[in-house]
Structure 1
Amino acid sequence: MHRKTRFVCVSDTHGYTPSEAGFKLPAGDVLIHAGDLTNKGSMSELRRTMDWISNADFEIKIIVAGNHDVSLDSEIYAQHGRAFHGPRLEDPQQCIETITRHAPSVVLLRHQAAVIRLTRANGPRTAFKVFGSPHLGLWIRNVRRRGALEPDPPDADLIVTHTPPRSHCDKKPDGTSVGCDALRQTLSRIRPPLAICGHVHEGRGYERVGWRGSVIETGCCAPADVDADRVMKGTLPPRESKKINLIDLTGKRGDRLDNRGFACGNADAVLQTRAVSKTEAAPLPLPEVESAAGTVPDQGYRENGLATPTPSADIHIGGHLLSLRKETCIINAAVMATSWPHRGGKLFNAPIVVDIELPVHHEV
Structure 2
Amino acid sequence: MKLICISDTHSLHRRIPEILDGDVLIHAGDCLGQGTLENITDFNDWLGTLPHRYKIVIAGNHDWAFQETPQHARQALTNAIYLEDSGVEIEGVRFWGSPWTPTFLDWAFMLDRGEPLQEKWQLIPDSTDVLITHGPPKGIGDEANMGFKSQNVGCADLLARIQELALKAHIFGHIHEGYGEYQQGQATLINASTCNARYEPRNAPIVIDL
TM-score of the pair, normalised by structure 1: 0.52
Query: After superposition, what is the alpha-carbon deviation per residue over 1:10-45, rounded to whole angstroms, capped at 9, x for unaligned?
Result: 000000123x24x12111111000000102211121
Query: After superposition, what is the alpha-carbon deviation per residue over 1:257-283, rounded to whole angstroms, capped at 9, x for unaligned?
Result: xxxxxxxxxxxxxxxxxxxxxxxxxxx
Q: Could you tell me which of 162, 167, 187 is aligned with 1:328?
A: 187
Q: Secondary structure at the match of 1:94?
A: helix
Q: Secondary structure at the match of 2:72?
A: helix
**Root-mean-square deviation over aligned CA pairs:** 1.9
For structure 1, the residue ranges without an aligned partner over 5 or more in a row are 78-90, 118-126, 211-326, 357-364
Q: Could you tell me which of 168, 177, 194 is aligned with 1:193?
A: 168
Counterpart in the other structure of 1:97: 75
Is residue 137 of structure 2 the alignment partner of residue 158 of structure 1? no
Following superposition, which runs of at least 4 residues in structure 1 exceed 4 angstroms of deviation?
none
Q: Residue 35 of structure 1 contacts residue 64 of structure 1 at CA under 8 Å; is this kept in 2? A: yes
Counterpart in the other structure of 1:16: 12
For structure 2, the residue ranges without an aligned partner over 5 or more in a row are none
Is residue 39 of structure 2 the alignment partner of residue 61 of structure 1? no
Is residue 111 of structure 2 the alignment partner of residue 133 of structure 1? no
Query: After superposition, what is the alpha-carbon deviation per residue over 1:206-257, rounded to whole angstroms, capped at 9, x for unaligned?
Result: 11112xxxxxxxxxxxxxxxxxxxxxxxxxxxxxxxxxxxxxxxxxxxxxxx
* Cα distance change of structure 1 residues 141 and 175 upon mapping to structure 2, 3 Å threshold: same
Q: 1:114, CA displacement in angstroms?
A: 1.3
Give the 5 Å matches for 1:290-305.
Answer: none
Q: Could you tell me which of 12, 27, 34 is aligned with 2:28?
A: 34
TM-score of the pair, normalised by structure 2: 0.88
Give the 5 Å matches for 1:180-329.
Answer: 180-210=155-185, 327-329=186-188
Counterpart in the other structure of 1:237: none
Q: 1:139, CA displacement in angstroms?
A: 4.3
* Cα distance change of structure 1 residues 36 and 139 upon mapping to structure 2, 3 Å threshold: farther
Q: 1:329, CA displacement in angstroms?
A: 0.9
Q: Could you tell me which of 341, 351, 354 is aligned with 2:208?
A: 354
Q: Secondary structure at the match of 2:132?
A: strand
Is residue 140 of structure 2 the alignment partner of residue 168 of structure 1? yes
Counterpart in the other structure of 2:81: 107
Q: Distance in 1 between matches of 2:140 and 2:162?
A: 11
Q: Residue 36 of structure 1 contacts residue 65 of structure 1 at CA under 8 Å; is this kept in 2? A: yes
Q: Distance in 2 between matches of 1:159 and 1:144?
A: 19
Is 28-37 or 47-56 further displaced after alignment? 47-56
AA aligned to 2:93 is F
AA aligned to 1:331 is I
Number of residues paired by the alignment? 200
Q: Distance in 1 between matches of 2:43 and 2:102?
A: 22
Q: Distance in 2 between matches of 1:193 and 1:94?
A: 33
Counterpart in the other structure of 1:82: none
* Cα distance change of structure 1 residues 139 and 97 upon mapping to structure 2, 3 Å threshold: farther
Paired-residue identity, %? 29
Q: Distance in 2 between matches of 1:131 and 1:346?
A: 28
Q: Distance in 2 between matches of 1:346 and 1:31?
A: 21
Q: 1:150, CA displacement in angstroms?
A: 2.2
> Which of the pair is proportionally richer in strand?
2
* Cα distance change of structure 1 residues 347 and 96 upon mapping to structure 2, 3 Å threshold: closer
Q: Distance in 2 between matches of 1:70 and 1:139?
A: 15
